Structure 1
Amino acid sequence: MTLLALGINHRTATVAVREQVAFTPTQLESALAELRSLPHISEAAVLSTCNRTELYCVTDAAGEQTVLDWLGRFHNLRVEELTRCAYHYHDNDAARHLMRVAVGLDSMVLGEPQILGQLKEAYQQARQAKGLGGELERLFQHTFAVAKQVRTETGIGKNPVSVAYAAVSMASRIFDDFSRANALLIGAGETIELVARHLHEAGVRQLTVANRTRERAERVSSSLGGTAITLPEIPDALERADIVISSTASPLPILGKGMVERALKKRRHRPVFMVDIAVPRDIEPEVGELADVFLYTVDDLEEVIEENRRHRQVAADQAESLIEHGVGSWQQERRVRNGGEVIRDFRRHGESLRDQARDQALERLAKGEDPAKVVERLAHQLANRFMHQPTLTIREAAAQENHDLLSAAPRLLLPPKPAFEQPAPSAKRQKDDTPA
């Protein structure tokens, strides 16, 4: 079986494609069940964020195309379109990719910490859906251990910078005085919590958090002295908002061009800074056509993110080294496990042959046959039965000139030869060598 990592991210696909391939929280349960039930797939996990959708599977040789075809069917996309922007890794490369994702080396913001939490959530969802077997379970656990080591031993996580921070940083280039700005945040997840905290630390005091449920919005806004509202109340809040940052899991846009246009008229066309962090997008792209709106998506944050990347490159190089060590140790553990499975199968086979020969010998003894002859026959049968399959395999390897198998056979089947002892020096040689 092969370990496969297949997906798209911010480097390979535009936000328009990423939002089509993203899984909403309500889709994940059915998606995992479907993916796990596919032929050629024995284990599966799904990671879906604003910047990437990735499938981790244990498959056979035909599994990769099966997964790609299924992803296209699930999201009503042509496989050819997916193939153009999808990447895939196998075995060690798949493990390395997962570890790089976990520590933020593959993120838009180098070293951003949120991805590890998102990966842990994906792991828990896969476990609940019974999508994990021994292979993916051990890989995820090993990955979390490597990520912890990287965070502990390098500076990759110091002064963490996220997409949320980048959004606020970009807003600071437009607003000289945050204390006079009114901010509207849509959503109540981890990203919006970070945005709210960064805005508060930057000086924003007029903060409104909108969410489907008021309780979740209050959880984010209360500690920062903000106001909580529900989604139907957004049009009124939009009239007062100078900054709008949105990150929800809604499959459809929350802010349309008409709603924003009406709010601008009541604002007397005072400009509004908007950042849409969500994938699929929360704000209709047409909103950006309005004269008094500065609309940015996650792809527009690249300049701020690149500056962060330069500062963290040294720590990233150290992290890459730790990941290589982590991949090596995972590979070694995997080899040991695979060897253990072969050993268990071999021992079970040997014990089966032993039991058959023993039972036959006991039957002969019960019939009163000569014990010496029974023992001799038992030894003869055991030797023949143990040697039968290896003998056939070696003959077949010789006929096919399979030199790798032929060279390995003596190490597997024969005891090591004793080392030759060096002859003791003769008395005459000792005498000759004695210095004068």
Structure 2
Amino acid sequence: MTLLALGINHKTAPVALRERVTFSPETLDKALESLLAQPMVQGGVVLSTCNRTELYLSVEEQDNLQEALIRWLCNYHGLNEEDLRKSLYWHQDNDAVSHLMRVASGLDSLVLGEPQILGQVKKAFADSSRGHLNVSELERMFQKSFSVAKRVRTETDIGASAVSVAFAACTLARQIFESLSSVTVLLVGAGETIELVARHLREHHVRKMVIANRTRERAQALAEESGRRGDSPQRYRRTAERGRHHYQLHRQPAADHRQRHGGACA
């Protein structure tokens, strides 16, 4: 039996790839069923947040193990294997345990020591219960990591000024603007971090929030939760242009302009 941790995060993969590798709560059971159907996999936990997607597995050692798991991940998400390989990291046995401890403690987060990750790891462990049921090695791995993360929080100063990315963004906005009650904010995306940003902004009585997302339905759902307006990707640029302090230059509009004007740019 071998313990593995494999995945991608904010340090190894761009947002576009991280979004494609995400496991949503609605599809988690199906993903676990497919993962556990792989002959080498004895048990597994799926951790999927805005900044990382990781698989923690108990597997039987075999030839081409890494190839088989990469192939499963690519087939499940419809990814090109070469694209994923460039961003994927792989930890085994003690290294896998150490990695999980770092993640749960906030040492591997985008904002060092951010407090939300431990709750996210615990939720992933609970939501993946069918994947680690009766797999004592995975159970011990996660329970020990929870214990270590708690000690890191209580015995060090890592949490003294730790903030989430969402809270940091709102704090910066409050430093720039005298009062958020007169400000219109455009939020691009509708994931977990944007939900938290919306919550913090609402607590500080922001005048108006416009939420733009790739799918109108998700933007609208978050807007209704926040009592705000949802927007389509096509409309968000107009919203940004009305309130911008600087010019926005996008590659495609510039290329279109150049083509219309015979290659001349002024």
TM interval, shorter chain, is: 0.7 to 0.9
Aligned to 1:11: 11
Q: CA deviation at 1:5?
A: 0.5
Deviation sequence 1:276-335 (CA, Å, 0-9, x none): xxxxxxxxxx989899xxxxxxxxxxxxxxxxxxxxxxxxxxxxxxxxxxxxxxxxxxxx
Q: Secondary structure at the match of 1:12?
A: coil
Q: Please, which runs of 5 or more residues in structure 1 have no aligned partner?
A: 222-227, 236-254, 274-285, 292-436
Identity, % of aligned positions: 48
Q: How does 1:189-338 map to 2 (within 5 A)?
A: 191-192=193-194, 194-196=196-198, 198-199=200-201, 203-206=204-207, 208=209, 228-229=227-228, 233-235=229-231, 255-256=232-233, 258-263=234-239, 269-271=242-244
Higher helix share: 1
Kindly provide the amino acid, as one letter, of the partner of residue 28 in structure 2: L
Q: CA deviation at 1:82?
A: 1.5
> Of the two structures, which has the highest relative contact order with CA contacts closer than 8 Å and spacing of 6 or more?
2
Matched, 1:144 2:117: no
Q: CA deviation at 1:12?
A: 1.1
Q: Please, which runs of 5 or more residues in structure 2 have no aligned partner?
A: 212-216, 255-266
1: CA distance between counterparts of 2:243 and 2:221? 31
Matched, 1:29 2:29: yes
Q: How does 1:23-422 map to 2 (within 5 A)?
A: 23-62=23-62, 63-129=65-131, 133-172=135-174, 174-183=176-185, 191-192=193-194, 194-196=196-198, 198-199=200-201, 203-206=204-207, 208=209, 228-229=227-228, 233-235=229-231, 255-256=232-233, 258-263=234-239, 269-271=242-244
- Aligned residues of 1:47 and 1:54 also touching (Cα < 8 A): yes
Q: Give the TM-score, by structure 1 length.
A: 0.49
- Aligned residues of 1:109 and 1:161 also touching (Cα < 8 A): yes
- Aligned residues of 2:186 and 2:239 also touching (Cα < 8 A): no
1: CA distance between counterparts of 2:238 and 2:145? 49
Q: CA deviation at 1:110?
A: 0.4
Deviation sequence 1:127-178 (CA, Å, 0-9, x none): 0455661110111111111111111111111233111023224434653443
1: CA distance between counterparts of 2:250 and 2:122? 35
Q: CA deviation at 1:212?
A: 5.4
Aligned length in residues = 245
- Aligned residues of 2:219 and 2:230 also touching (Cα < 8 A): no
RMSD over aligned CA atoms reads: 3.3
Q: Secondary structure at the match of 1:160?
A: coil
Kindly provide the amino acid, as one letter, of the partner of residue 53 in structure 2: T
2: CA distance between counterparts of 1:119 and 1:288? 38
C-alpha change, 1:132 and 1:163, in structure 2 (3 Å) is farther
1: CA distance between counterparts of 2:190 and 2:177? 24
Aligned to 1:2: 2
Q: CA deviation at 1:199?
A: 3.4
Q: Give the TM-score, by structure 2 length.
A: 0.77
Kindly provide the amino acid, as one letter, of the partner of residue 145 in structure 1: S
Q: CA deviation at 1:78?
A: 2.2
2: CA distance between counterparts of 1:74 and 1:6? 15
Q: Secondary structure at the match of 1:234?
A: strand
- Aligned residues of 1:4 and 1:94 also touching (Cα < 8 A): yes
- Aligned residues of 1:35 and 1:41 also touching (Cα < 8 A): yes
- Aligned residues of 2:5 and 2:96 also touching (Cα < 8 A): yes
